[in-house]
């Protein structure tokens, strides 16, 4: 049994290693271009807090039937969003992504920690905990993050860049993959 497990793990590591060699466009270039080309409305502290409150309220419905409608009203048709795992430039693709997420999560809690701004960007510091379903199992996960958000005059999100740690907030907790991830990139705490 150990020999089969070792062979399986070696194969998984080899496939992951080879897939990492694939040439992908740099998200940094996309971010820079979107940040320079997408102008939101100028913000003050109160508006930044309001953006954070609406953002958290919408994502607190994740995993429920009303989430897709809540999220749809939050975003503009044309946008830039990078949630660290995926990148979108239109609401239609983003909503399709949200529908898939909605089927995999439950018991979501999102808390607004703080909201601040600089010119047209709100910086929303949040905490999210949720149950994630994969391979018929459910695992409770939690993460802290910050979302840089720009809105248009209609109060819709036109730019969002999320900053959070998917290694410790998601990957290490996944069934099967988590063990391989922990083995390849161990978390060191001193």
Both tokens of residue 30? 């996309």
Cβ atoms of residues 121 and 105 within 8 Å: no
At residue 175, does pLDDT exceed 70?
A: no
At residue 142, does pLDDT exceed 60?
A: yes
Cβ atoms of residues 161 and 31 within 8 Å: yes
pLDDT at 189: 47
Burial class (CB in 10 A: 0-12, 13-18, 19+), 118: exposed
At residue 7, does pLDDT exceed 80?
A: no
CATH number of 26-184, picked from 3.30.420.250, 3.30.70.360, 3.10.450.50, 3.40.605.10:
3.10.450.50
Cα distance from N-terminal residue to C-terminal residue, the chain: 34
> Does 154 or 24 have the greater pLDDT score?
154
Beta bridge partners of 146: 125, 163
pLDDT at 49: 98
Domain extent listing, the chain: 26-184
Q: Dihedral of the CA atoms 107, 156, 162, 122 (nearest 10)?
A: -110
């Amino acid at each position: 049994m150990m020999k089969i497990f070792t062979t399986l793990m070696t194969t998984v590591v080899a496939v992951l290693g080879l897939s990492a060699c694939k040439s992908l466009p740099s998200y940094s270039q996309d971010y820079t271009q979107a940040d320079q080309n997408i102008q939101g409305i100028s913000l003050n502290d109160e508006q930044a807090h309001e953006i954070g409150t609406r953002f958290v309220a919408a994502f607190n419905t994740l995993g429920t039937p009303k989430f897709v409608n809540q999220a749809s009203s939050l975003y503009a048709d044309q946008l830039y969003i990078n949630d660290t795992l995926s990148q979108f430039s239109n609401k239609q693709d983003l909503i399709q992504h949200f529908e898939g997420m909605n089927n995999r999560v439950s018991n979501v809690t999102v808390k607004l920690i703080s909201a601040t701004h600089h010119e047209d960007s709100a910086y929303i510091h949040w905490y999210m905990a949720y149950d994630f379903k994969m391979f018929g199992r459910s695992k409770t996960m939690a993460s802290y993050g910050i979302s840089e958000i720009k809105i248009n005059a209609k109060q819709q999100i036109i730019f969002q860049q999320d900053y959070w740690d998917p290694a410790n907030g998601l990957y290490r907790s996944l069934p099967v993959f988590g063990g391989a991830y922990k083995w390849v990139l161990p978390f060191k705490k001193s």
